[in-house]
Amino acid sequence: MLQRIITYVTAHPKRIILLWLVAAVALTGVGTQLGHRVVTDDTAQFLPKSSESARATEFAETAFGAHEGTTTVTALVKRADGRSLTAADSAGVAALSNRLKSWRIDTDTLDVKNQPGDLDERAGGIVAAAPGPRAPDGRFQLVGLQWKANSTDLVAQAGFRQIRDRAADAARADGLRVAFTGGIASTADQTEAAEKNTALQGLLLLGAVVLLSLLFFRAPLAALLPLFAIYLVAGAASGLVVLVALAFGFDLDVSTPQIIHVVLVGIGVDYFLFLLFRLRERLRAGEDRRTAALASALRIGPVIASAALAIVVAFATLALAEFGQFRVLGPAIAISVLFMLLAGVTLMPALAAVTGRAMFWPSRRWLEERTDGPAARLGRGIARRPGRTTLAVTAALVALATVAVGTKMSYDMTAGQTATAATRTADEISASVPKGATDPQHVYVDATRTISVAELEPLRHRLERVDGVGSVGTPVLTPDGRGAQIELALQGDALSKKAMDVVRGPLRDAAHTATPDGTTAMVGGTTAVFADVSDSVERDMRKIFPIAAALIGLILVLTLRSAVAPLYLLGAVALEFAATLGASVLVFQVLGGHAGVAFTLPLVLFLFVVALGTDYNILMTARLREEMLAGRPVREAVAEAVRHVAPAIAAAGLVLAASFATLTLASGQASKELGFAMAFGIILASLVVSSILVPALTALAGRRAWWPGQAAGERRVALAHVEELTPEPAR
* DSSP codes joined into one string, 315-376: HHGGGG-SSHHHHHHHHHHHHHHHHHHHHHHTHHHHHHHHHGGGGGTT--GGGS--SSSHHH
Q: What is the pLDDT of residue 414?
A: 58
Rounded mean pLDDT, 671-682 = 87
State the Cα–Cα distance between residues 562 and 622, nearest whole angstrom.
Answer: 11
Residue 113 burial (CB < 10 Å; 0-12/13-18/19+)? exposed
Residue type, 730: A
Tell me how far apart the alpha carbons of residues 401 and 300 are, in angstroms, rounded to a whole number. 34
- The whole-model pTM stands at 0.72
- Please, which pLDDT band fits residue 390 given cuts at 50, 70 and 90? very high
Rounded mean pLDDT, 582-592: 91
Q: What is the mean pLDDT of residues 40-52?
A: 70
Predicted confidence at residue 196, as pLDDT, reads 58
Four-CA torsion 111, 114, 120, 121, nearest 10 degrees: -130
Whole-number pLDDT of residue 368: 65
Q: Calculate Rg over the CA atoms of the chain.
A: 29
Mean pLDDT of 678-683: 90
What does the pLDDT read at residue 484? 92
694-701 and 374-384 helices cross at what angle (nearest 10)? 40
User: pLDDT-based confidence at 719, cuts 50/70/90?
Assistant: very low
Q: Where are the beta strands (DSSP E) in 384-461?
A: 409-410, 441-447
Torsion angle of C-alpha atoms 428, 429, 431, 432, degrees rounded to 10: 130
Label residue 582 by pLDDT band (50, 70, 90): very high
Whole-number Å distance between alpha carbons of 134 and 29 = 49
> Domains, the chain, ranges and CATH?
1-37+218-369 (1.20.1640.10), 73-190 (3.30.70), 372-414+531-731 (1.20.1640.10), 440-524 (3.30.70.1320)
- What's the pLDDT score for residue 576? 92
Whether omega before 362 lies within 30 degrees of 0, making that bond cis, reads yes
Contact (CB, 8 A) for 434 and 491? yes
Of residues 384 and 272, the one with the higher pLDDT is 384
537 three-class SS: helix
Which range, 21-30, 44-53, 251-260, has the best average confidence (pLDDT)?
21-30
Closest CA to 360 of 281, 304, 301: 281
Q: With a cut of 80, say whether residue 526 has pLDDT above it.
A: yes
Q: Is the pLDDT of residue 581 over 90?
A: yes
Position 718 pLDDT exceeds 70 = no
What CA–CA distance (Å, rounded) separates 188 from 192?
Answer: 6
Burial 456-478 (b: 16+ CB within 10 A, else e): beebbebbeebebbbbbbebebb
Could you give the percent of the chain with pLDDT greater than 70?
Answer: 88
Which of 259, 525, 250, 229 has its CA nearest to residue 350? 229
CA neighbor of 584 nearest in space, from 599, 603, 597 = 597
Encoded amino acid at 102, one letter: S
Alpha carbon separation from 458 to 72, 82, 454, 463, 464 (Å, rounded): 28, 39, 8, 9, 10
**d(C-alpha 404, C-alpha 241), whole Å:** 34
CA separation (Å) from 551 to 556, 566, 686? Answer: 9, 11, 21
The H or E element spanning position 22 is helix 13-34
Are 108 and 143 spatial neighbours (Cβ–Cβ below 8 Å)? no
Q: Is 593 helix (H, G, I), strand (E, B) or coil?
A: coil
Using alpha carbons only, what angle is made at residue 456 by residues 453 and 458, rounded to the nearest 5 degrees?
A: 135
pLDDT of 536-564, one tens digit each? 888 888 888 888 888 888 888 887 788 89
pLDDT tens-digit map of 185-226 = 888 877 776 665 666 666 766 777 677 667 777 788 887 888
**Sequence-ordered list of residues with C-beta below 8 angstroms from that of 21, at least 6 positions apart, any chain:** 232
Q: Is the pLDDT of residue 653 over 50?
A: yes
Distance (Å, rounded) from C-alpha 159 to C-alpha 146? 14
pLDDT value, residue 698: 93
DSSP structural state of residue 400: H
Query: Is residue 119 over pLDDT 50?
Result: yes
Which pLDDT score, from 0 to 100, does residue 259 have? Answer: 74
134-166 pLDDT, tens digit each: 888 889 999 988 888 777 777 888 888 999 999
Helix axes 154-173, 87-102, angle to 10 degrees: 150
Q: Which residues contact 251 (CB under 8 A, 6 or more apart)?
A: 38, 39, 40, 45, 245, 328
Q: What is the pLDDT of residues 621-637, one digit of tens each?
A: 878 887 888 888 999 99
> What integer pLDDT is reported at residue 415 of this predicted model?
58
Q: Which residues contact 389 (CB under 8 A, 6 or more apart)?
A: 381, 382, 692, 693, 696
Q: For residue 68, what pLDDT is reported?
A: 57
Q: Could you tell me if 143 and 96 are in contact, meaning their C-beta atoms sit under 8 angstroms apart?
A: yes
Q: What is the pLDDT of residues 280-300, one digit of tens each?
A: 878 887 888 889 888 888 877
Q: What is the pLDDT of residues 404-458, one digit of tens each?
A: 998 888 776 555 556 788 888 888 887 777 777 777 889 999 999 999 999 999 9
Task: Please give the pLDDT value at position 727.
Answer: 45
Calculate the average pLDDT of the chain. Answer: 82
Q: What is the pLDDT at residue 200?
A: 65
The residue type of 692 is I
Please tell me which residue, 519 or 123, carries the higher pLDDT value.
519
Please give the biggest Cα pair distance in the chain: 95
Name residue 443's beta-bridge partners.
486, 523
- What per-residue confidence (pLDDT) applies to 522? 94
> Beta strand pairing status for 252-253 and 39-40?
parallel
Higher pLDDT, 710 or 693: 693
Residue 728: the pLDDT is 47
Q: Is the pLDDT of residue 729 over 50?
A: no
